[in-house]
Amino acid sequence: MKTNTFSPLALLSRFSVLIILLGIGVIFALGSEDFLAPNNLLNIALQTSIIAIVAVGMTFTILTAGIDLSVGSIMALCGALAAGLAVKSGLGTFGGISLALIAGMLLGAINGLLIVRGGMPPFVATLAMMAVARGLTLVYTNGRPIAGIDEAFIFLGNGKVLGIPVPIIIMIVIAVIAGIVLRYTRFGLHVYATGGNEETTRLAGISPGKIKMAVYIISGFTAALGGILLTARLWSAQPNAATGWELDAIAAPVLGGTSLFGGVGNVGGTVAGAFIIGILSNGLNLMGISSYYQQVIKGIVFILAVILDLFTKRKK
């Protein structure tokens, strides 16, 4: 009696994100002739790259059955810190960016401490952090943009290497590293295990607390990186940057098959999920649909993704 692992439903849910991606692509290709132009495709990738990076970090937290609502605010704060430290404090681009990345990890570590030590639900801890980090951004910037970043900084957001925009390269590097970590390392397996059954994980001699600390630090890091790239792309740090981006950052992994219940998902899905979101806004723009309606459509797509998650969960 060999166990049968084949199931049409499992297959469907495994590739559903690619099917959706393709479906949306076909619709827009038919709806707008500009959609398939190489420049537009590259543009989509560029627009998607930052959210994809943040979503990769989010994937780790969701895999442990957690969530990080503070990523949008951390992006803004770290984007502002990088610019401010580089320009106003004279630490230079390298110093500013390095410290901003460390700040992102520290904020993530605070999230982790609140959740692991404080026993707070991730939703509550990171919701509070979302307010705190946004507030700190406004305090630090005095509510005004920070401009004057140098060429090297701007290059990160707008430069190209071998014809490929730098943010896309960074996205690929981050996604590949995350993919390898989740698939081939102990830590990766323990992330899945923690989300799958925390008690069993503890009994196996693994500390779920440490794993959770780590995933929030990772999420803080990728959010900070995303924020820095956003600053670079816009040539300046905006105090209200990335407002509401946590929705996209959560929607991407969920669209990509990462279960909000934890323990299921992968980075490839997350990147594909981010592209669904990217293509959606790009295509809707090309079709001339107002940005007001785009919000509505994005929300509905997110709901559909969660329903799909619930549906496959219940059917198993």
Partner 1 sequence: MSDTLPLLKMERISKSYPGVQALEAVDFDVVPGEIHALVGENGAGKSTLMKILTGAQLPDSGRIIWKNQPVNITSPGDAQALGISMIHQELSLIPHLTVGQNIFLGREIGSGIPGFINWKKLYRAAQELLDRLNVGIDARTEVRFLSIAQQQMVEVVKALSLNADLIAMDEPTSALTDRETDILFRVMRSLKAEGVSLIFISHRLEEVFEISDRITTLRDGIFVGTKEAATLTEAQVVNMMVGRELGELYPKTNRVRQEVVLQITNLQDNKELHGVDLTLHKGEILGIAGLVGAGRTALAETLFGIRRAVAGEIKIDGRPVRVNSPGKAIKLGMGLVPEDRKLQGVFLNMAVKDNIFISAMKQVTTWGFININKANRLAKTFVKKLGVRTPNVGQRIRNLSGGNQQKVVIARWLTLNPHILILDEPTRGIDIGAKAEIHGLMSDLAAEGMGVLMISSELPEVLNVSDRILVMHEGRVTAEFSRDEATQDKIMLAATGGLDQGGMLNENEHV
CB nearer to partner 1: give 79 or 262. Answer: 262
Quote the distance between the C-alpha of residue 61 and its chain's center.
10
CB nearer to partner 1: give 39 or 314. Answer: 314
- Find all residues with CB under 8 Å of 217, minimum gap 6, and list them: 105, 108, 109, 112
* Alpha carbon distance 211, 194 (integer Å): 7
| Residue 193 C-beta: closest distance to partner 1, Å | 6
Alpha helices, DSSP H, located in 64-165: 71-87, 92-116, 122-141, 151-158
Return the number of other C-beta atoms located less than 10 Å from residue 304's C-beta. 12
Q: 130, 206, 230, 274: which one contacts partner 1 (CB under 8 A)? A: 206
CB nearer to partner 1: give 261 or 293. Answer: 261
Examine residue 30 and tell whether it contacts partner 1 (CB under 8 A): no
Residue 50 in contact with residue 156, Cβ under 8 Å?
Answer: no
Examine residue 204 and tell whether it contacts partner 1 (CB under 8 A): yes
Examine residue 264 and tell whether it contacts partner 1 (CB under 8 A): yes
Examine residue 1 and tell whether it contacts partner 1 (CB under 8 A): yes
| HEC per residue, 234-269 | HCCECCCCCCCHHHHHHHHHHHCCCCCCCCCCCHHH
Tell me which residues in 171-190 interact with partner 1 (CB under 8 A): 184-187, 189-190
Q: 201, 236, 281, 282: which one contacts partner 1 (CB under 8 A)? A: 201
Quote the distance between the C-alpha of residue 90 and its chain's center.
30
Task: Scan for tokens 């069993």, then name that residue.
Answer: 200
CB nearer to partner 1: give 4 or 142. Answer: 4
**Which of these, 181, 75, 191, lies nearest to 129 by C-alpha position?**
75
Residue 211 to residues 97, 110, 112, 159, Cα–Cα distance (Å): 26, 14, 9, 36
Q: 36, 147, 173, 200: which one contacts partner 1 (CB under 8 A)? A: 200
Q: How many residues of this chain interact with partner 1, rule: CB under 8 A?
A: 26
Examine residue 205 and tell whether it contacts partner 1 (CB under 8 A): yes
CB nearer to partner 1: give 9 or 304. Answer: 9
Examine residue 316 and tell whether it contacts partner 1 (CB under 8 A): yes
What residue ranges bind partner 1 (CB under 8 A)?
1-5, 7, 184-187, 189-190, 192-193, 196-197, 199-201, 203-206, 263-264, 316
